[in-house]
Amino acid sequence: IVRLRVANHIELKRQRDFLLSLSQLDGMTGIANRRAFDTSLERLWHVHARQRLPLSLALIDVDHFKLFNDTYGHIAGDDCLKEIASTLAESLPRSQDMAARYGGEEFAVLMPDTHKAGALGVTKRLLERVRGRQIPHSQSPSGAHVSVSVGVASCVPASDGDPLDLVRCADGALYQSKDNGRDMITTLEMN
């Protein structure tokens, strides 16, 4: 009876762990999902505020993705997003960095213990690797291949601050990249 109970508890734990991992992954791309991103951002914000460490966030948007879907179809669009997600995940230099699907054709990269200069280096590599994939996009006003726009925000979190301020700052930088021609990186530091 004791062996059966132990076996049942082990199996239940394995199943719970499996369900937890499924709830944290984006079903299409296989990288972290928005729920995992939100949880990690909240946790990292408080840890970095206590330790007075820098935290950086990049928001990444696939340029003219609606035109891509309209031109090549939704299956090709899904394949494009999978390839971008894979490129982002493979390009992160440290295991503590996190690539997540933020929503639709937007991705987020959390970079703990990273100043603006380090985040800029990481995102330059990401941008170059996406360009290097040379995914055809014949209808893009930005060029013949799929490109991404990137907004980066960095700060040393304040214990009384709001992690969403970092997201807002990165989003503002992302919109500057889009407004200035796309296929580029804009960085901002939170005050």
Return the active site residues.
105
C-beta of residue 154 within 8 angstroms of C-beta of residue 56: yes
Q: What is d(CA 166, CA 82) in angstroms, rounded to the nearest whole number?
A: 26
Q: In what order do the strands lie in the sheet with 106-112?
A: 98-103, 106-112, 55-62, 148-155, 185-189
Written as one letter, the residue type at 64 is H
Instruction: Copy the structure tokens of residue 88.
Output: 């982002």
